[in-house]
């Protein structure tokens, strides 16, 4: 009850940050008792606990993370490495990962790799300084073998399969992905059922041999082949709106004339939106002249004009699984690395003939 005269629970600010010892002195107990109060490590008499708590509030004490981490050997920090946060899909992903991590008492640190191989290598090694408990990685430039080879002791979970071995070989690290081939088949079947027959694909990249784009293209090609329809693929420089615009701008003549394409499967929503932008500029109507479909289920597509049909991954499940796998390895699990599939669903909207939607 030795409140100071200014009354209330006044926060006292001093130059130096208070340590557990300052609190101990203020509460007239040993610093270990303060630690026990903070961490619930050992039983503390109610009256003592209150006294300590009051001192903590008064001094504005908060445990120092460096000291704690050093002692505990854990930082409760997880990094999420993605190509670029401005891409809506990765923002959605980051959001889901942040939530999943927070639910488990972890904090997320975001690293943008810009698909730079050198940077990805540094990330795989754990950021030059040993700070993290785990890493969730959405690589773009390097394969998972490269990364695991470069990699350090850090528990690492991969997202997307820029890195997935096509040959069915064992994964070098845990992966969490949607079934890209299957979803691409569904998406393409959807267009065929809607009566389209000259269906293009946008989003292969020269530099990739087994990435997401390649797998989606594979599913697309399988569906077309089953129906005896012709396939045609267009490369995209980047998986972005400008990338989609540039790619389609370069081949716009394929959408006019007698053999004009009447549908376009795009490797993601951004490419689709960039493509639609150019199609519109060329006087083509979506979906009347060209049906368009994308991936990722970003909110954009629900408000675009026309609204965009898309394959939406179950990001919540993906993030939770990724975080659990990473933290599992933090706690010493040594289960052999696996590829884990999470769900997806096709959301039909205007761009393939669906309704406006909400």
Partner DNA sequence: CGTGCGACTTCTAACGTTGAATACAGTGAT
Partner DNA sequence: ATCACTGTATTCAACGTTAGAAGTCGCACG
Interface with DNA (CB under 7 A), residue from 2, 30, 225, 288? 30
> Which stretch of DSSP H or E encloses residue 161?
none
Which of 32, 41, 152, 288 lies at the binding interface for a second copy (CB under 8 A)? 152
Name the residue nearer to DNA (CB basis): 31 or 127: 31
Q: Is 110 in the site for a second copy (CB under 8 A)?
A: yes
Quote the least distance from Cβ 19 to DNA, whole Å: 3
Q: Assess 112 for contact with a second copy (CB under 8 A).
A: yes
Please give the structure tokens belonging to residue 103. 């639910």
From the list a second copy, DNA, none, which binds 281 (C-beta under 5 to 8 Å, kind-based)? Answer: a second copy
Distance CA 79, CA 177 (A): 18
Question: Least CB distance from residue 9 to a second copy, whole Å?
Answer: 11
Q: Please state, as a whole number, how many other Cβ atoms lie within 10 Å of the Cβ of residue 47.
A: 8
User: Could you say whether residue 252 binds a second copy (CB under 8 A)?
Assistant: no
Please, what is the minimum distance in Å from the beta carbon of residue 63 to DNA? 4
By CB under 7 A, residue 73 contacts DNA: yes
Residue with tokens 């400008």: 242
324 binds a second copy (CB under 8 A): no
Q: Which residue has the tokens 């899909």?
A: 89
Residue 12, Cβ neighbours under 10 Å: how many?
A: 12
CA distance 190 to 227: 12
224: its two tokens: 């077309």
Q: Which residues contact 201 (CB under 8 A, 6 or more apart)?
A: 216, 217, 220, 221, 231, 232, 233, 234, 264, 265, 266, 267
Cα dist from 290 to 190, 209, 259, 345, whole Å: 14, 28, 12, 22
**Binder to a second copy among 83, 126, 211, 297 (CB under 8 A)?**
126
> Shortest distance, CB of residue 102 to DNA, whole angstroms?
19
Q: Which of 4, 13, 43, 167 binds DNA (CB under 7 A)?
A: 43
Report the partner that residue 334 touches, choosing among a second copy, DNA, none (CB closer than 5 to 8 A by kind): none
Which of 25, 48, 63, 208 touches a second copy (CB under 8 A)? 63
To which H or E segment does residue 27 belong? Answer: helix 20-27
User: Which of the stretches 34-42, 118-126, 247-255, 294-302 binds DNA when contact is defined by CB under 7 A?
Assistant: 34-42
Distance (Å, rounded) from C-alpha 68 to C-alpha 262?
A: 61
| Residue 31 contact partner, candidates a second copy, DNA, none, CB within 5 to 8 A by sort of partner | DNA
* Interaction of residue 95 with a second copy, rule CB under 8 A: yes
Q: Is the dihedral of CA 273, 276, 281, 287 positive or negative?
A: negative
Region binding a second copy by CB under 8 A among candidate stretches 126-134, 205-213, 229-237, 316-324: 126-134
Does 68 interact with a second copy (rule: CB under 8 A)? Answer: yes
Confirm or reject binding of residue 2 to DNA (CB under 7 A).
no
Query: For a second copy, how many residues bind (rule: CB under 8 A)?
Result: 59
Cβ contact 31:24 at 8 Å: yes
Closest CA to 119 of 87, 101, 146, 91: 146
63 is a contact residue toward DNA (CB under 7 A)? yes
What are the backbone angles phi and psi of residue 300, rounded to the nearest 5°?
-40, -55
| Overall size of the chain counted in residues | 358
- Select the binding partner of residue 165 from a second copy, DNA, none (C-beta < 5 to 8 A, by kind): none
> In 10 A of CB 237, how many CB atoms?
13
Q: What is the largest CA-CA distance in the chain?
A: 90
Per-residue tokens: 334: 């040594």
Which residues contribute to the site for DNA (CB under 7 A)? 16-17, 19-21, 28-33, 35-36, 38-39, 41-45, 47-49, 61, 63-64, 66-68, 70-73, 130
Which residues contribute to the site for a second copy (CB under 8 A)? 11, 13, 17, 60, 62-70, 75, 77, 84-86, 88, 91-92, 94-95, 98-99, 107-112, 125-131, 149, 152-153, 241-242, 245, 273-274, 276-277, 280-281, 299-300, 302-306, 356, 358
């Amino acid at each position: 009850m030795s409140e100071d005269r200014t009354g209330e629970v006044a926060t006292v600010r001093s130059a130096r940050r208070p340590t557990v010892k300052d609190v101990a002195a203020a509460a007239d107990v040993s610093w270990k008792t303060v630690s026990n109060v903070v961490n619930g490590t050992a039983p503390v008499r109610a009256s003592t606990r209150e006294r300590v708590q009051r001192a903590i509030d008064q001094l504005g004490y908060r445990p120092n993370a460096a000291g704690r981490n050093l002692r505990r050997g854990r930082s409760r920090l997880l990094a999420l490495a993605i190509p670029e946060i401005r891409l809506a899909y990765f923002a959605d992903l980051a959001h889901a990962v942040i939530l999943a991590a927070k639910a488990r008492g972890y904090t997320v640190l975001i690293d943008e790799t810009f698909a730079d191989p050198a940077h990805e290598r540094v990330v795989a090694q754990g950021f030059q300084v040993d700070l993290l408990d785990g890493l969730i990685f959405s690589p773009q430039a390097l394969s998972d073998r490269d990364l695991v080879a470069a990699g350090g002791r850090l528990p690492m979970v991969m997202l997307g399969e820029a890195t997935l071995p096509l040959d069915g070989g064992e994964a070098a690290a845990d992966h969490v992905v949607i079934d890209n081939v299957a979803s691409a088949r569904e998406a393409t079947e959807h267009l065929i059922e809607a009566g389209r027959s000259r269906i293009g694909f946008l989003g292969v990249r020269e530099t990739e041999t087994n990435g997401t784009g390649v797998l989606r293209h594979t599913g697309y090609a399988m569906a077309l082949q089953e129906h005896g329809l012709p396939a045609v693929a267009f490369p995209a420089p980047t998986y972005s709106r400008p990338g989609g615009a540039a790619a389609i701008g370069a081949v716009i003549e394929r959408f006019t004339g007698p053999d004009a394409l009447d549908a376009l499967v795009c490797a993601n929503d951004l490419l689709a939106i960039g493509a639609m932008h150019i199609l519109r500029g060329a006087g083509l109507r979506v979906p009347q002249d060209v049906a368009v479909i994308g991936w990722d289920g970003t909110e954009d597509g629900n408000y675009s004009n026309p609204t965009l049909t898309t394959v939406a991954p179950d990001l919540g499940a993906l993030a939770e699984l990724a975080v659990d796998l990473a933290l599992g390895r933090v706690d010493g699990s040594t289960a052999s690395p696996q590829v884990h599939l999470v769900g997806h669903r096709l959301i039909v909207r205007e761009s393939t003939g669906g309704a406006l939607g909400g």
